[in-house]
Structure 1
Amino acid sequence: MILNIPRQIRKINRLRTIATILVKYQVISISKSISVISPVTLVSRLLDSSNRITKQEDFAVLIRRIFEELGTTFIKFGQWLSVRPDFVSPEILKELEKLQDRLPEVPFKTIKQTIEQETGKSINEIFSQFSQQPISSASIAQVHCGVLKTGEIVAVKVQRPELKKLISVDIDILKTMARWAVRKTPHLALHRFDELLSSFKNTLMEELDFIHESKRQDRMERVLSKMPWVHIPKIYWEYTTKHLIVMQYIEGVKLTQKEYIQNYKGDRNLLGERLNDCVFRSIFEYGFFQSDPHPGNVLIMEESEFAIVDFGMTESLDKVTVNALLKWYYAAIYRDIDMFAETFLKMGTPLAPIDEIEFRNDCIDFIDEIHYQPSSNDISVGNLLEIINHIQYQHKITLPTSFVLLFRTICFWDGTFRYVGVDFDWRKDWGPKLKKLIQSQFLSESVVQDMQKSLLDYKQLISKYPANFQDIVDKIKEGKLKVEIEETSLIKQLTGIQKGLNKLAVSIFVSTIIFGLFYLGRGQGNEFLLQIITSGKELWWIFLLIILMFFYLRKK
């Protein structure tokens, strides 16, 4: 096997960088040689360090700071872990949600080189103006403002260089650490680290493909087209590639600009209604929502309008998941504990046995937190999220990522309503809407559609049946069909059941004959018995009794 030397060199250099940062935060000693550090020694010393820290909160802060300094992969990994409350403790989870997705600026020279490599044209051929100072600089990409030769003002999103190589090396290191941790602490195998890291890698690699992101942005523009007060930037496909997005520049003010929000001149309540309508319809009607909203990618505009400008993370929901979400939130608002718990377990995957009584009590705590608050201002959706996280972590239940992302999305929008000064109670608004959507599933049109789908499935099954059946018959004729049952305990049980049924049948027959004889001879005493013995034509009764008793004793 020939080693990939460049990859090995990158891995060694990356390990040195990680070790240097761990030394900075006093996780490992500087006296140890950084040149011989390995993933195993890194995770070993990190665990030793965690044992020295008495407060879980302090360890959580340490993890968050290290992740931020380690860059793109670890920032994204931390953000991804923040939606896995079945795996991460509540203290660490809360801290990971604070991860800042900001990195040092990429030099303009590198940005210019990337644009020209991706488009095959010089930057001056595409843009009449281009700002060298970025609008924002995050872990995946950097955004600049420019003006196309055709006069449109655009935002240019340029991916950071060499990200795939860096991410591949980092995930290799994480996998090595995870395998060692499982060997050291076997119960960690419950969390299936290999699957977890593979899922994270797939998610991150998809986020690196800006063609996918642009398609999602286009789709969101079409989905929300019936809401003219929501603005989604138009994509300029002629300049967009896997590492570059050129999109419409939208004038607006980020939620981070407190002074503007405090002095907002538009109708705040109308803005709140429109924000809520956008969130509700995109989730429950269209099954497609922006799953990573934050103050930096929501722009408030004049006339109570707003824009969403980043679609690196979106969620598409199938019909089954949407229906489950409908029931989940309906049950929470109308305090149907059975429906809530049932939906939770139906959609979730328990990784360990569940204490059903404790689980139900935790669900009641969640619903009561919603149900017994007198006003919207008393409801903390963040606290509700903490309860959900507690339920998942305590009972080791893995929910679909869409559930957790959705709740975090609602948590963000709830905070936004408060931030812009909107008095909005989502229980009163969502309850009737959810009820209406659930009722619509039982309308004739919806029922007919479901029946049509079922009939098509049956039609397909029936159309294939003759060929499949003929194939089975041919194999039987050729002696190629062999069916074996290897579950010996099942065979023993079936055999026991068969013997029991045989005995029961014989007992019924014998009891019937004896009962019949007694019925015929009632009141005759010994005369009836003598009559049977002396009567040749009645001897068949005795013969039948002997045969049946013999059969019974043999089976026994």
Structure 2
Amino acid sequence: MTVLETTFAAARDHKRIAEIAAVLVRFGVDDIAIRLGLGGLLPKRRGRALHADAESLSQPERLRLAIESLGPTFIKLGQILSTRADLLSPEWITELEKLQSDVAPEPWEAIRAQVEEDLGASPDTVFLSFAHTALAAGSIAQVHRATLHDGTDVVVKVRRAGLRPLVEADLRLLSHAAGLVEAQWPEFARYRPREILNHLGAAMGEELDLAAEGRNCEAVAQNLAAMERIKIPRIFSEWSSERLLVQEYIDGIVPNDHAALNATGLDGRELARTGTAAFLRMALVDGLFHADPHPGNLRALPGNRVAFIDFGMVGRLGARRREQLLMLVAAIVETSGERVAALLMEWSGAADIDLPRLEAACDTFVARHGVPPLRLGEAITDFMALAREHDLALPADLALLFKALITADGVMRSLDPDFDALAAAGPIVQEEMIRRYRPGALMGKGKSLALDFAGLAAEAPSLLRLLALRLRQGRIAAEVELKGLDRIGADIRWAATRIAVAIVTAAFALGLAPRLLDFGPTLLGIPVTALLGIAVILGGLAWLLVPRRR
């Protein structure tokens, strides 16, 4: 079933399919639509591209412009793909990183009714002051400045009207496309398109729910409460909802404004250490981290404090994944290429790996990056390139973290050109390793393991009864992977050929040869036909007796 056949069942998506196909044609990337079965919806045209600039641009540039024209869902997908340096080559990554979600804000009159509905009153009543002109705007929401009646400066984030139905339609279509790619092009299965789409759906769900963004912000603030030099904006949940978020306005200096930093006497080295410590604690200890720490989402505050703002994009890491990351850091420090290779294989789940070649590449990797100072951005970039070269796809949560680490490392290095990520991470990694492997924690793991075995033992009788029942019913299904199936086929063809030659040889020897003695001219008193028959018999016997050459 094609995407077109599936989506025609839902008439509400048909218009959107046509819009997508038209945009792909406009920017000269309609081959994507054709491969996905949308060729019948493509507008008829004579030139290669209808957009004025498309003809002179590269394929990655055309795709980036098309994505920006398709709206927030596709922009978010492009941003997710820009984190997948383990899958895409540098020229595609570089172009996708340029994706911009900045758009013109909606006029106040277009959103007034929605804002009043969400606040339960006019904003001019709820707030002491409210700016009707947006401070900034993106494809998902726009931001307005306001002041509470107690004098607190806040920003009010308002989701664009009518956005959810469009996003849901796009997610349905992209989900169909992912299934089609996996079904029709098995060579792309390693890219895990469905996993990427699941990640996209979760990311879009959180971005559309501004209340969820507020909860994420509050959770991070609670996790980092002990770090006095870290500031997280306060959320005013009493006025927040799915479509509207009110949070504290933080007035600070963006980290790449070096003139302002120098004028206020802030120390770039201290800011870099503080910001790195906070980010690594979010990722390695708490498992909930800011996934887009670019300069616009960071602020330098007096006293060399650092503020993180805009938690619309966050990442989550489970305990097992955090433990693996600690193991990766330890493997790099100890220059153990073998352990790096083992982690890569576990993360990718690939079965057909050239292990000696992978371990040799990992040895080269740790030899280059295991010596201080560790340039984190370069190390992660090389690590993902290593995965790409060996056809190893990383899990989506790791790809998001690695992208965030590269972004954060760039910001910190702009503050401190001699920044050593390993020195900054050392205390946190050491503290976490001690916490995880202290006697109490090991006893806890032992108890958990004992409970797992106890649960398994309790379930064993019912599982065995079910297995016996399925055996009696003949309903046991087995999935068998045959290694070297092509070799088996070749052996079967070889055996069949030998049988055929043996039959022909036997026919000449037993049936045709005696009769050939009576026909045709002779040579040295022997009929030529008989000589030919003898030659055929001898040739057949020789072929049968010679062993097969491998």
Q: TM-score range by the shorter chain?
A: 0.7 to 0.9
Residue equivalent to 2:449: 454
Partner of 2:110: 110
Other structure's SS at 1:161 match: coil
Aligned positions of 1:311-322 closer than 5 A:
311-322=311-322
2:359 is equivalent to residue 360 of structure 1? yes
Corresponding residue number in structure 2 for 1:550: none
Q: CA RMSD in A?
A: 3.8
Following the alignment from structure 2 to structure 1, what is the Cα–Cα distance between the partners of residues 40 and 131? 45
Contact conserved, 2:21 with 2:30, CA < 8 A, in 1?
no
What is the TM-score of this pair, normalised by structure 2?
A: 0.74
How far apart, CA to CA, are the structure 2 residues paired with 1:118 and 1:489?
56
Q: Report SS of the residue matched to 2:246.
A: strand
Identity %: 26
Letter in 1 for 2:441: S
Please say which structure displays the higher CA radius of gyration.
1
Task: Report how far residue 41 of structure 1 moved.
Answer: 5.8
CA distance in 2, matches of 1:63, 1:168: 22
Q: Does 1:408 align with 2:403?
A: yes
Structure 1 residues 425-444: aligned runs within 5 Å: 425-431=420-426, 433-444=428-439
Give SS of 1:155's match: strand
Alignment partner, residue 52 of structure 2: none
How does 1:155-554 map onto structure 2 within 5 Å? 155-174=155-174, 187-350=187-350, 353-372=352-371, 375=373, 379=375, 381-421=376-416, 423-431=418-426, 433-461=428-456, 464=458, 469=461, 482=472
Residues 480 and 105 of structure 1, relative CA distance in 2, 3 Å threshold: closer
Deviation for aligned residue 1:5? 5.1
Change beyond 3 A, Cα 1:44–1:195: farther
1:8 equivalent to 2:14? Answer: yes
Q: Is the 8 A contact 2:289 2:315 kept in 1?
A: yes
The Cα of 1:252 is off from its aligned counterpart by 1.2
Which letter does structure 2 place at the counterpart of 1:355?
D
Q: State the partner residue of 1:145.
A: 145
For residues 210 and 118 of structure 1, the distance between their equivalents in structure 2, rounded to whole angstroms, comes to: 12
User: Which letter does structure 2 place at the counterpart of 1:404?
Assistant: A
Deviation at 1:311, TM superposition (A): 1.0
Displacement of 1:335 after TM fit?
A: 0.9
Change (3 A) 1:221 1:359: same
Contact 1:472 1:481 in 2 (8 A): no
What residue number does 1:528 align with? none
Give the C-alpha shift of residue 250 in structure 1. 1.4
Instruction: Indicate if the aligned counterparts of 2:116 and 2:123 stay in contact, CA closer than 8 A.
Output: yes
Q: Any conservation in 1 of the 2:214–2:245 contact (CA below 8 Å)?
A: yes
Describe the superposition over 1:93-141 as per-residue Cα deviations: whole angstroms up to 9, x where unpaired.
Answer: 2221222231222212223222112233222221221112222212211
AA matched with 1:143: V
Q: Which runs of 5+ in 1 are unaligned?
A: 30-36, 50-54, 491-556
Specify the SS of the correspondent of 1:60. Answer: helix
What's the offset of the Cα at 1:198? 4.1
TM-score by length of 1: 0.73
1:51-62 pair list within 5 angstroms: 58-62=58-62
Structure 2 distance, partners of 1:433, 1:128, is 43
Contact 1:102 1:138 in 2 (8 A): yes
SS of match in other structure, 2:359:
helix
Indicate the SS of the match to 1:253. Answer: coil
Whole-angstrom CA distance in 2 between matches of 1:226 and 1:146 = 29
One-letter code aligned to 2:305: E
Q: Mark the CA change 1:411 to 1:264 in structure 2 (over 3 Å): closer, same or farther.
A: farther
CA–CA distance in structure 2, aligned partners of residues 480 and 341 of structure 1: 40
Structure 1 residue 414, shift from structure 2 partner: 1.8
What's the offset of the Cα at 1:421? Answer: 3.3
Counterpart of 1:428, as a letter, is A
Mapped partners of 1:422, 1:264: distance in 2: 19
- In structure 2, the CA distance between the partners of 1:275 and 1:118, relative to structure 1 (3 Å rule), is same
User: Which runs of 5 or more structure 2 residues have no equivalent in the other structure?
Assistant: 1-6, 32-36, 50-54, 482-550
- Structure 2: distance between partners of 1:304 and 1:114: 40
Question: How many residues were matched structurally?
Answer: 463
Q: Secondary structure at 1:63's aligned position in 2?
A: helix
Alpha-carbon contact 1:268-1:422 (below 8 Å) kept = no
